[in-house]
């Protein structure tokens, strides 16, 4: 569990994880923040994927 | 007559109500095993009628595992009374005092076409059996589509496998989840898209999105595989139907309630459960959805074939924290000769998670992991 706990702690201390709006489910801004963050991390993962698969 | 039948079945003592459940499930499995073992039956109509008879066996029984239908009927009542269900919270209404509904602290999350079906169910005034009648109707719509699309033997085989699939019998009929309407709608979309009828296909996909927002993820996957001109026509059909549907309830809409639902519900996605062993809810949700988004974008870049697009529903089950077994139902439409395939069996088994949930929590976790790995690995093996 250690790596997962580390990830969780790191996220909680990140600008997104510590932003009050991110945890306020009743606000529309929260959903937009989460959607944006999901998309951004997803795109970053795609870039990592293609970087690893690049022809050397 | 239906009301009289409903009333007579209601006379069954409450403690006997769950008794037909294992018998019905056993019957469904027997039929399913028979199809798997012996293939195409000689007397399709006999099996078809028998399949609906197994549904009818539990037509008036209480729902054992679900309470979503209460919200369906609640919403239907609101629309019948001329109230916009997107604009208010059930807990604030007098109706809530006599009619409990799940998720009573948020406005409804169901899109307009779903609300229309709920309204019909409320108008029939049979309660849950009325919703089940509508579910059976949705399954019947598959019949003309299958016979129109495929040779007789293939259509018959497909119809029986869907009808006898325990996931369909349990989640789409017994629990009356509105997702049952995705089957005829997405089947219709697939056939129209296959026939290059872009506007009509876009329109039918729009209807599916008006029933449940999730089919919207199909559009980019479909659009990358068609010409630019077809793409515009498809977008026109889709946007036209969506504007019409959501316009009926303007300016209220279900999106904010859906976001709230997404962030507060923990479903049965095996990957989510795995991440939840070590992560808090928000981090797990973000990590899982980001992985799903990445997979989706990579798949999109590979220009997937139309015949493979229904796999996206497996992704919705696996990579969203709200994954529930009935999200897998559209996988039954994956058009491949030689049913039953592994994914049909998987869909049939997926709802068994519920039975493991209560008495055997640890087994649920292991089962979910096994399901997840199995489902993820199988497509790679089959294409290898």
Q: Please give the Cα distance from B334 to B337 (Å, whole number).
A: 9
Count of residues making up chain B: 384
Cβ–Cβ gap B294/A42 under 8 Å: yes
Q: Please give the residue of chain A at the shortest CA–CA distance from B261.
A: A25
pLDDT beyond 50 at B379: no
Cβ–Cβ gap B293/A12 under 8 Å: no
Pick the residue with more confidence: B374 or B254?
A: B254
SS in 3 state form for B77-119?
Answer: HHHHCCCCCCCCCHHHCCHHHHCCCCCCCCCCCCCHHHHHHHH
Neighboring chain A residues of B322 at a CB cutoff of 8 Å: none
Q: Rounded mean pLDDT of B99-113?
A: 89
Distances (CA, A) of B190 to A32, B139, B196, B330: 32, 16, 10, 11
- Taking a C-beta distance cutoff of 8 angstroms, is the pair B329, B183 a contact? yes
CA-closest candidate to residue B84, choices B126, B114, B112: B112
Identify from A9, A11, A30, A35 which residue to disrupt to test chain B contact, counting B C-beta atoms within 10 A and taking the largest count. Answer: A11
Using CB atoms, pick whichever of B262, B287, B294 lies closest to residue A46.
Answer: B294
Whole-number pLDDT of residue A51: 92
Whole-number pLDDT of residue B300: 93
Would you call B209 exposed, middle or buried from its count of C-beta atoms within 10 A (0-12, 13-18, 19+)?
buried
Cβ–Cβ gap B290/A45 under 8 Å: yes
- Taking a C-beta distance cutoff of 8 angstroms, is the pair B306, B225 a contact? yes
H/E element holding B317?
Answer: helix B312-318
Q: Rounded mean pLDDT of B311-337?
A: 81
Q: Please give the Cα distance from A18 to A12 (Å, whole number).
A: 6
Q: Rounded mean pLDDT of B96-118?
A: 90
Neighboring chain B residues of A39 at a CB cutoff of 8 Å: 293
CB-defined contacts A:B, below 8 A: 74
For B105, list phi and psi in degrees, rounded to 5.
Answer: -95, 0
Residues B100, B102, B108, CA angle at the centre, nearest 5°?
105
Identify from B259, B288, B300, B315 which residue to disrupt to test chain A contact, counting A C-beta atoms within 10 A and taking the largest count. Answer: B259
Highest-confidence segment of B4-13, B31-40, B204-213? B204-213
- Taking a C-beta distance cutoff of 8 angstroms, is the pair B332, B162 a contact? yes
How does pLDDT run across A2-14, given as a tens digit for each residue? 666 777 777 777 7
Query: How many Cβ atoms from other residues are within 10 Å of residue B227's Cβ?
Result: 10
Cβ–Cβ gap A26/B283 under 8 Å: no
Cβ–Cβ gap B286/A43 under 8 Å: no
Cβ–Cβ gap A37/B280 under 8 Å: no
Helices vs strands, H then E, count in chain B? 20, 0
Predicted structure pTM score: 0.84
Q: Decide if the complex's ipTM is over 0.90.
A: no
Q: Please give the residue of chain A at the shortest CA–CA distance from B105.
A: A26
How does pLDDT run across B240-265, given as a tens digit for each residue? 999 999 999 888 888 888 888 888 78
Whole-number pLDDT of residue B327: 85
How does pLDDT run across B357-370, given as a tens digit for each residue? 444 444 555 555 55
Pick the residue with more confidence: B95 or B31?
A: B95
How does pLDDT run across B147-179, given as a tens digit for each residue? 999 888 888 888 888 887 777 888 889 889 999
Whole-number pLDDT of residue B337: 46
- Taking a C-beta distance cutoff of 8 angstroms, is the pair B229, B261 a contact? no
Q: Please give the Cα distance from B293 to A43 (Å, whole number).
A: 8
Identify from B280, B295, B296 which residue to disrupt to test chain A contact, counting A C-beta atoms within 10 A and taking the largest count. Answer: B280
Interface list for chain B against chain A, based on CB atoms closer than 8 Å: 256, 259-260, 262-264, 275, 277-280, 282-283, 285-287, 289-294, 296-298
pLDDT beyond 80 at B124: yes
Whole-number pLDDT of residue B52: 87
Neighboring chain A residues of B282 at a CB cutoff of 8 Å: 11, 17, 22-23
Q: Please give the residue of chain A at the shortest CA–CA distance from B257.
A: A26
Q: Please give the residue of chain B at the shortest CA–CA distance from A26.
A: B260
Whole-number pLDDT of residue B347: 64
Whole-number pLDDT of residue A14: 77
How does pLDDT run across B263-273, given as a tens digit for each residue? 878 877 778 87
The overall average pLDDT reported for chain B is: 81
């Amino acid at each position: 569990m250690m790596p997962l706990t580390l990830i969780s702690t790191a996220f909680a201390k990140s600008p997104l994880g510590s932003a009050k709006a991110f945890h306020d489910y009743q606000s529309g801004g929260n959903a937009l923040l989460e959607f944006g963050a999901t998309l951004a991390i997803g795109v970053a993962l795609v870039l990592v994927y293609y970087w690893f698969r690049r022809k050397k | 007559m239906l009301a009289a039948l409903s009333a007579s079945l209601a006379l069954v003592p409450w403690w006997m109500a769950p008794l037909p459940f294992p018998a019905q499930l056993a019957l469904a499995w027997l039929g399913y095993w028979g199809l798997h073992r012996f293939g195409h039956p000689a007397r399709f109509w006999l099996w078809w009628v028998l399949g609906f008879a197994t549904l009818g066996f539990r037509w008036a029984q209480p729902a054992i595992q679900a309470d979503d239908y209460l919200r369906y009927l609640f919403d239907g009542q609101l629309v019948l009374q001329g109230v916009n269900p997107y604009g208010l919270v059930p807990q604030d209404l007098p109706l809530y005092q006599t009619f409990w509904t799940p998720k009573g602290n948020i406005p409804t999350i169901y899109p307009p076409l779903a609300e229309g079906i709920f309204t019909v169910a409320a108008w029939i005034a049979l309660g849950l059996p009325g919703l089940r009648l509508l579910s059976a109707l949705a399954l019947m719509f598959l019949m003309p589509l299958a016979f129109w699309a495929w040779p007789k033997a293939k259509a018959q085989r497909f119809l029986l496998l869907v009808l006898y699939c325990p996931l369909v019998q349990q989640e789409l009929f017994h629990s009356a989840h509105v997702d049952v309407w995705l089957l005829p709608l997405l089947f219709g979309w697939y056939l129209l898209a296959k026939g290059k009828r872009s506007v009509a296909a876009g329109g039918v996909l729009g209807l599916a999105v008006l029933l449940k927002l999730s089919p919207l993820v199909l559009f980019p996957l479909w659009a990358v595989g068609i010409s630019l001109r077809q793409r515009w026509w498809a977008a026109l059909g889709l946007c036209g139907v969506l504007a019409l549907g959501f316009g009926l309830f303007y300016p209220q809409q279900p999106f904010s309630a859906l976001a709230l639902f997404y962030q507060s519900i923990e479903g049965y996605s095996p990957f989510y459960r795995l991440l939840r062993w070590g992560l808090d809810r928000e981090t797990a949700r973000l990590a899982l959805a980001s992985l799903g988004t990445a997979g989706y974008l990579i798949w999109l870049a590979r220009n997937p074939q139309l015949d493979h697009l229904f796999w996206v529903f497996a992704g919705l089950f696996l990579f969203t924290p709200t994954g529930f077994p009935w999200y897998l139902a559209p996988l039954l439409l994956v058009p491949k000769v030689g049913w039953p395939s592994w994914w049909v069996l998987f869909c049939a088994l997926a709802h068994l998670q519920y039975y493991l949930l209560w008495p055997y929590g640890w087994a649920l976790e292991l089962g979910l992991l096994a399901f997840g790995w199995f489902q993820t690995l199988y497509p790679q093996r089959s294409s290898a």
